[in-house]
Amino acid sequence: MDQSDKLRLLQSDWYSPRRLHDSPTRYDFPGDRFLPNRSLMDLDRAHSLLTNKTTEFKSSKCNEVYQQKLIESQSLNSEGKRIMVFRGSPKSSTKSIRFVDELRQEMAAISDNKSKQAPYRPIPKAEMKVFDAPGLMDDYYVNIMSWGKNNVLAVGLGPTVYLWNSVDQRTHKLFHVREEDNWPTSITWSEEARTLAVGYTCSNLQLWDAESSKLVSSLFLYSFTIRSLQGHSGRIAATAWNGHILTSGSRDKSIINHDIRARNHLASCIKKHSDEVCGLKWSNEGDRLASGGSEKQLYIWEASKMSSSKFLHRFTDHCAAVKALAWCPYQHNVLASGGGWNDRCIRIWNTQKGICIHSIETKAQISGLEWNRHHKEILSSHGYSTGEDQNKLCLWKYPSMTKVGEFGNHEPRIINLCQSPDGVTVVSAVADESLRFWDVFGPPTTGTSMASDLQGLFSSRNSLIR
């Protein structure tokens, strides 16, 4: 062997990793399908094939295992499909997108199931407090209670109007009517709760200043006499504010809009109802007015067209007087209305399309409706009934209008219902001369029942409003 052959052999031995082959590392697993373990590789054979194309290297004991692993790793997987082969965009490329959509639907269904299985917010079993209200008028058609943004509840008890401050818990007598049979029949706070509108049995309408406890004087209304708004010839059972416009409805079948800024306050007069107007409510945006009458009809008016006496819609679905009216706080075109004893239905209206989208038989006279501003619910107060479901408060889930629960131990019927400024508490005026406060609205509570904190605290009458 010449010197060049010895040098070539030395270089071959120098580059060949014989130590790895003679004492290979053993593993319990065969290795990754893309990169097999070095213990299964014949490195000498690989080196020989790369450096010597004529000399064939004899197979080692690892050759067959290595070849098999190489085929399995680089050719086919367990399902017979080739690995790492570019195939282009398959026709079913949207399958993954559909799979994501299906996954989202499944997650939404799971979430719905969890929400259905979760316990509903507790319903109060007892009143938060009860006030004596002697002289409270037992008349379904009047509206003698209003809770303003100043946290003051105004209520008419016979010939006297009282103010109860819910912050300091003090009661103040606003005024007392000396004339017999001229009692307040409608009471409504203005939007900023500075002025209280009071309608009377004998057709007069007055404005009272809440801070001074006096009638609004000439300085505010460009007149040199105490302000008493005229125009009606019958008792005023319903009033509603829309900014500087005060709307009143009367037994004389008319609706009058009063502009309290002007000396000639009569802005418009509408005579479309054929009986007493007992329900009035302006929408939250102030663009539409709902009016209900004793003749079973419900009208929807547009603010910009009231001077022409042209109504937007007239609904005749109710079978009794329509007194209870409430605009939805989160759907501005939705109105809820409640009928009297011969109707006993809550109807939900789409005033944009002029259609009834829901009707629920309550089996009792409906005297008041209040939307929950914290949850999609509506509360109804009831009076006379053909069965045992009377004189109660009922909570309904919206928009399904399924009954969440009912409560209240009112013995006689409920006359009026109104809501606190924070949207948590409601107060019911009952014909047994009492005012009952309920913490029925508000955010859901966790842990113990909300009613457990209230139950037993005010189980009997503990305060006088006068």
Long-range contacts: 95-104, Cβ < 8 Å, 24+? Answer: none
What's the longest Cα–Cα distance across the chain?
A: 143
What is the Cα–Cα distance from 337 to 303, expressed in whole angstroms?
20
Strand extents, DSSP E, 232-363: 236-242, 245-250, 255-259, 266-270, 277-282, 288-293, 298-302, 313-315, 322-327, 334-339, 345-350, 355-361
pLDDT in tens, 29-43: 555 555 666 666 677
CATH class of residue range 136-316: mainly beta
- Structure tokens of 296? 């079973």
- The pLDDT value recorded for residue 33 is 55
- 312-345 pLDDT, tens digit each: 999 999 999 999 999 999 999 999 999 999 999 9
- pLDDT for the residue 122: 80
Q: What percent of the chain has pLDDT over 70?
A: 71
d(CA 326, CA 323): 10
Tally Cβ neighbours within 10 Å of residue 313. 19
Q: How high is the pLDDT of residue 175?
A: 95
If 0-12 CB within 10 Å is exposed, 13-18 middle and 19+ buried, where does residue 146 land? buried
Instruction: Answer whether 69's CB lies under 8 Å from 98's CB.
Output: no
Average pLDDT, the chain: 81
Please report the pLDDT score of residue 408 as a whole number. 87
Question: Residue 206: helix, strand or coil by DSSP?
Answer: strand
User: Which comes out higher in pLDDT, residue 53 or 146?
Assistant: 146
Higher pLDDT, 451 or 116: 116
Question: What are the tens digits of pLDDT across the range 196-254?
Answer: 999 999 999 999 998 888 998 533 333 334 457 889 999 999 999 999 999 999 999 99
Residue 119: pLDDT band (50, 70, 90) is: low
Predicted local confidence at residue 263, as pLDDT: 84
Tokens found for residue 333: 């075109």
Q: Look at residue 136 and tell me whether its pLDDT is greater than 70.
A: yes
- Amino acid letter, residue 209: D
Q: Tell how many helices (H) and how many strands (E) occur in the chain.
A: 7, 30
141-172 pLDDT, tens per residue?
A: 999 999 999 999 999 999 999 999 999 999 99
Between 327 and 12, whose confidence is greater?
Answer: 327
pTM for this one?
Answer: 0.71
| pLDDT score of 41 | 67
Q: Is the pLDDT of residue 372 over 70?
A: yes
79 versus 250: the higher-pLDDT residue is: 250
Residue showing tokens 């603010």:
303
What residue segments make up the domains of the chain, in order of their start? 136-316
The larger pLDDT score, comparing residue 303 to residue 181, is at 303
Listed in sequence order, the residues at least 6 apart from 399 whose beta carbon sits closer than 8 Å to its beta carbon are 348, 357, 358, 376
SS3 58: coil
Report CA-CA distances (Å) from 388 to 81, 363, 365, 408, 436: 73, 9, 12, 13, 21
Backbone angles phi, psi at 64, to 5 degrees: -65, -40
Contact by Cβ (8 Å): 438, 122: no
Residue 431 has pLDDT above 80, yes or no: yes
